[in-house]
Structure 1
Amino acid sequence: MHYDWEELSDGVRRCRLPFLDVTVGLVHGEHKNLLIDSGTTPSEASRIADDIGVLTGGAVTDVALTHHHFDHILGSSGFGTAVLYAPAAVARAMTTHIGQVRAHALRYRADPESVDRAIAGIRAPDHIVTAADLDLGGRSVHLELPGPGHTDHDMVVVVPPVVPGQQTVVFCGDLVEESADPAIDAGSDLPAWPHALDRILALGGPDAVYVPGHGAVVDAAFVRAQRDWLVARSIPESLRSSPPGSPAS
C-alpha cells in the first residue's frame, strides 16, 4: 500500500495525500468504485489506483470532483476510463481555463513537469452535476452542490451506511477544513458559506462523519463551530469592533 486508508464505514475509506494534505475518498459498491477528488499528479493517481485495486479487487470506475482547484482535479487524468462527475465550473477549469489551473498549481510549488503530464491527459467531466444519485451496486451515494462557500460551486458527496448502526459519511471538499482555517480567497463567497454548511449538516445529520478536504475527520459539532467562525468573519470589521448597542462607525 502506498497510502494509509482510514476506514470510515463499511466500504468507505479516505486517505490524506502528502502534498498539501489533500483528502481523497473511496466508496466501494458491488459493481463500481467511486473516487472522491483525485490529487494533483499522475504519480499520485497511479498510487491511488494501485491501493484501490488492493482494497477492492477492482479499478476506479467513477470519480466525483468537488471543486476546480488543482489539488483536487489534476490527478483525474490518471483514471482515463472512469466516469467523471463535477460541477460546471470544474468542466471549465479542465478545458478553457486549464492555463489558470496550471498557474495556480505552480504558485503552490507543484512540480511543473508532473503538472504538465497531468494536463496532457486531462479531459472534461462526463456529467455536469447540481444534484445526482449514483448507484454503485448495493449502495447509493448522493452528490449535491449545497451552496457557494469556498468557491461558487462546491460539491459534497453523501454516503449513507449499508450496515445497520454505522454512520453516514459526508465528503465535504474544502467547504470544511481541519488542518488549517478555511481557505478564503477571491473566489469564495463568505456570506453564503455558513448557509452551505447548514445544508451539509442537514444532509448528514448530527451523528454523521464529516470528511474535510484537508485534515482529520470531524463531527457535526466541528462543522457548526466552523460555520460560526465564518459567520463572525463575514461581519464587517466596523461592527465587530463596536460595543454592543453602539452605532457602527
Structure 2
Amino acid sequence: MDDRYGTDVLAAGWRDKGRKTSRPVAAELDLVVEVAGDGYCGAITRVENGNVELEDRKGRTRVFPLGAGFLVEGEPVALVVPTAQPRGRRRTASGSFVADDGRARVALPSRILVEGRHDAELVEKVWGADLRTEGVVVEFLQGVDLLHDLLRDEPPTAERRYGVLVDHLVPGSKETRIAEQIARGPHGVHVRIVGHPFVDVWQCVKPAALGIARWPEVPRGQDWKTGICRGLGWPSETKEDLGLAWQRILSRVTTYRDLEPALLGRVEELIDFVTAP
C-alpha cells in the first residue's frame, strides 16, 4: 500500500522534501534581486569581500553577505561571485569601454584644470584610463583664484582649450563670480568652467560608498574638512590626519557609481570640450 506519509519519519532530510532549493546565480552588476527575509529589492551595484551591495529605486543602499536568501523573479537563488569573462569588451571605472589597443595617446595641447590635488586624484581614479586614451592631461591650480594668472601667462587658443572644474559653483559664490568674469573676457570662448555645488570634492563621493547615511553637518566657522573628520570620528588634528582621511575616502571609490551625478556630468562635459576637433 502506498503510504503518503512515508515509512520513516526520522529519515534524514524528511523536513526538506518538497522545499525549493536555491540555484546559484552570478551576482552581476545591475541584476535586480529581492531579499527573501524582508522584501528589500534592489540592483546589484558592488560585489567585494564576500558581500553584495544593493541599491533600491530611491537610491538607498544596503549590504548583504553573498549566498542564499535572495529571490530573482520570485525564485530562490544563492548569489555567488561572478566568474571572469575572457571575452567581451571591458569597461573603465567611468563606464566607458576600454580602448582596443589600450595605448595612451600623445598629450593634447588642451587640458583639464582642477582646483586641488584631491580633485585631481579623484578624476584620475575614475577617468584616468579615458584621459590617457584621449591624451588629456589634468593639472591642479591650487585654487581658482589663480586662474586669471594662468590665462594671462599661457592664454588659451582654438587649438589649446582649457576645461576647468571648480568646487562650490553656486549662485553668489566667489567661484561663480570668477567664472562669469572669465566667460565675459577675451579668453572665454576657449575656456569652459564647470563645477559641482558641494563645498569640497570630498562630498562628491556618495555617502553610501563610505557606509554612512549622509555627510556630517559642519558648524559655521569650523574648518570644513576638520569638521567632517570629527563628525565621522576620525583623527583630525594635523594635515597628515586630513590627508589620511582623504585617502580613506578615495579608497572607497572604485567606479563612477560611487560619485554624485552633479560631478559625473561636469567631468564628461570637460572631456568633450577639450577633445572636440
TM-score under structure 2 normalisation? Answer: 0.22
Larger Rg: 2
**What TM-score, normalized to structure 1?**
0.24
